[in-house]
Amino acid sequence: MSEYSKGLLVAGFLNAAGKKELESMSNNDIKKFAIKISESKAESLVDEEDSEEVSLSPSMDGSFNKYFKTGYPPPVKKYKLMVESFTASVEETYFFLLSQLRRDMSYHNIYKITDIFSASEQSAFWGAAQSRMKIQQDNVSQYLIAVGKLVRELFQIVRELRIMDERLMMYDKWEELKSADISLKGLYVDMVEGASKNPSSVYGLAQQVGFTILPDLFFNTHVYTPEKVDPVVDALEYNKAVKNVLKRKLLSFVTWKIKTDKELRDRRQFQLKYLRQHWAVIQMYLDWIKPYLRNIRRMKMNQKQIESPDIIAAFETSMTEIEIMAVKPDSGGAHPVVIANFEYRTRPHMEFQQDNYQHRGPVNVGRVLVNIRAYGWTAKQIDNYKKYRREESIELFGMVDESVQAAMESLGGDLENYLEEAGEKVNREEPDEPKKKKKRIQNLGMADPFFAVFKGLYDMATALLPAIDIKPQKKSKTKRVSPGKISSAKKIAAGNAWQIYKNYKKGHKMITW
């Protein structure tokens, strides 16, 4: 059973059964489907290479041993090299093949897919790697603490903006709605005058004899400019003492409203700019964190290699896996692709040179296993393969990004709206287009049987004629690549893979034919 089948399923490397079953699913549906199914089910749906690195001698029952899955799509050609030397450096193998691909075969686009290093616990490399990784981890932890504080403060900033928007809505409707005027007067009495706790407030004066009616007059007298306070109050038929107090309260309220309106709008603009600055700092910290996470990921020992019998804790051994993908420019949408995978099992030792040569670095001697695979792929298949092979590498980045994304989702659309208002570009998800409803055939009443006769004649005629699709076809966003172009790209890649395989063997005095 292959452990890579689910990754190949999500990447789109499907066999005939997989294409048939997943044809109508979207990318998100396929990811959810891959999580639910078992490895054996996924293996039955993907197009995966069978390895030949097994014993082909007959077993006791007369049958041959089965091949096992490698986690790669089936190549058009595959070549294998195994070089073992305890006197010469095996690093030369990688650079020889890299030079062949880049210079002699004209593969100018070469991508490093995998670069994993593991060493035994007692080796000098292990201690050096762990000390370097600790420095990176300390830096990451400090930045993550800072990001956590900034995200918490983000909630408070958005909350303050929401409160200001609620208040400004009443300010905007002040002259249109009486309820807005009454609400603002209530805020003024409660927050500015101190409600009934202050004896000189509207409610405090209402407790004195002769001023009981003051709250009713204050809330029901609607004045919107300081100049109109005196004419409106003088027109009321109340005693002079009540009118004087009412004038004083209304003038104070109108002045407070006009001044606080400008103050609140200025504060909102400042808060928006502060929110944008706050968001930019979070994004900056995330950009700083990602290189450290990438370094930690690369310095982290691979668990499979550590548990491999090729690495012994007491021995000075190390294992390295390197994978590169060489891509030629497309011809009609199909690219020749060569994937070279290097598996090193080495023993590093220090080499000292004479004649004042200052090289003191380690030389890796041991064994290297090279698998060269040839493919003919489209640009989409190349991108899918890179995503599939790098899925584990981006796990740490996703953890950090998801925490910020979760904060954005919890704040709803307000954060995005405020950022856009402040001038920040926000990538919004476009809603799916609603499906068009099919037109239902209307009931024609008494005329329905007559129309049914003509419909039956039409069905009989169209059944005898070849079907013609008169619906306008939607233009496909991606160009379909012809099978001939893919076949040509496969031949080019297979020829180049054979050439570098042959050149390496001849250049190193191996048996060739």
CA distance 109 to 326: 6
Q: What single-letter DSSP state applies at residue 116?
A: E
pLDDT tens per residue across span 30-74: 888 888 888 888 888 888 887 765 555 555 555 555 677 888 999
pLDDT at residue 492 in the model: 94
CA distance 113 to 337: 13
Taking alpha carbons only, the member of 110, 93, 99, 509 closest to residue 342 is 93
**314 is written with which tokens?**
């007491």
> How far out from the chain centre does Cα 226 lie?
56
User: Largest Cα–Cα distance of the chain, in whole Å?
Assistant: 121
The stretch 175-204 carries a mean pLDDT of 82
Q: Return the amino acid letter for 267.
A: R
Q: Report the chain's C-alpha Rg in angstroms.
A: 38
**213 is written with which tokens?**
């009616």
CA distance 16 to 44: 10
CA distance 372 to 138: 39
Q: Which residue has the tokens 């029952």?
A: 61
CA distance 313 to 117: 15
List residues bridging with 371 in a β-sheet.
80, 341
> How far out from the chain centre does Cα 189 lie?
51
Q: Which residue has the higher pLDDT, 222 or 302?
A: 222
Give the up-direction half-sphere exposure of residue 257: CA atoms within 13 A in the CB hemisphere. 29
Q: How confident is the model at residue 421 (pLDDT cuts 50, 70, 90)?
A: confident
Delimit the domains of the chain by residue range.
1-74, 75-120+311-393+485-513, 146-287
Taking alpha carbons only, the member of 268, 352, 275, 333 closest to residue 486 is 333
Taking alpha carbons only, the member of 17, 26, 80 closest to residue 48 is 17
pLDDT tens per residue across span 433-462: 444 444 444 454 544 544 454 455 445 444
- Cα dist from 235 to 194, 202, 245, whole Å: 29, 20, 15
**342 is written with which tokens?**
């290097």
pLDDT tens per residue across span 352-405: 555 555 545 566 678 899 999 999 999 999 999 988 887 655 554 555 555 666
Q: How confident is the model at residue 413 (pLDDT cuts 50, 70, 90)?
A: low
Give the up-direction half-sphere exposure of residue 302: CA atoms within 13 A in the CB hemisphere. 18
List residues bridging with 319 in a β-sheet.
118, 345
Q: Which helix (H) or strand (E) holds 85?
A: strand 77-85
CA distance 513 to 499: 12
